[in-house]
Amino acid sequence: MVFFALKKRRAERANREKNLWIQKALAEIDMLVPKQDKLDVEKSGSEIRYSLDVRWSDFDEWKSQLVYPTFQEMLMTCIEKKGMSNQDFYKAAHMDRKLFSAIKNNTEYQPKKETAVACCFGLTLDLEDAENLLELAGYKLSLAITWDRVIYYCLKNGISNIDVVNELLYEEGEKCIRV
């Protein structure tokens, strides 16, 4: 139910932004045209508006099918579902309170990959759930990268203690998780 309310708010915000963009574009077109040609421009402006409306409506329909929660929204939902306090989570993720507060209070927060991975370990997520959370942050684990392989191995095998993960990373000559 929360997901659908978020989806509806996002769709409304997208519609407002689209309408503002169209109004700005039409205003710029009107400013560029000499005054004697205003009548012809209004016609071409409306034609442009119509073509933009057609494209935007197709785009809006497509986009409405792709609405996902943000990284922050999903993270807070996972913390709640796991029954963790905020303090328990950010300590398990080796995160300081200031960073956690920045994530918690900004729905559009874009974490670094290392921070997103630390969140996965702090929540003790399995591989599939971790990959979903990482995807919401804009990341994917690649088996072609040693650091990612170690993270993948730990998630797949239920190793969620960041200290143990850091030991494995260190043994492989990779950078440890420090958020």
DSSP characters over 63-125: HHTT----HHHHHHHHHHHTT--HHHHHHHTT--HHHHHHHHT-TT----HHHHHHHHHHTT-
Q: Is the per-residue pLDDT at 114 higher than 60? A: yes
Flag whether 179 is in a domain: no
pTM tops 0.75, yes or no = no
Least confident of 27-36, 66-75, 110-119, 145-154: 27-36
Least confident of 54-58, 67-71, 162-166, 168-172: 54-58
Q: Indicate whether 100 and 154 sit together in one domain.
A: yes
DSSP designation for 173:
T
What amino acid is encoded at 94 in this protein? H
Q: Indicate whether 82 and 153 sit together in one domain.
A: yes
Higher pLDDT among residues 54 and 178, named by residue: 178
Q: Is the four-CA dihedral 164, 160, 110, 105 of positive or negative sign? A: negative
- Residue 63: per-residue pLDDT: 73
Angle at 141 between CA 137 and CA 145, to 5 degrees: 130
What amino acid is encoded at 77 in this protein? T
- Residue 55: per-residue pLDDT: 65
- Residue 40: per-residue pLDDT: 46
- Report how many domains make up the chain: 2
Q: Indicate whether 112 and 133 sit together in one domain.
A: yes
Q: Answer for the pair 148, 131: CB distance below 8 angstroms, yes or no.
A: no
Flag whether 26 is in a domain: yes
In the chain, the percentage of residues whose pLDDT exceeds 90 is 59
Q: Indicate whether 124 and 48 sit together in one domain.
A: no
Taking only the tens place, the pLDDT of each residue in 11-41 is 787 778 777 777 777 777 766 665 554 444 4
Flag whether 55 is in a domain: yes
- Residue 129: per-residue pLDDT: 96
Q: Is the per-residue pLDDT at 122 higher than 50? A: yes
Tokens of 93: 């993720």
Domain that holds residue 78: 71-171
- Residue 41: per-residue pLDDT: 46
Tokens of 89: 């989570």
Q: Cα–Cα distance between 172 and 151 in angstroms, integer? A: 11
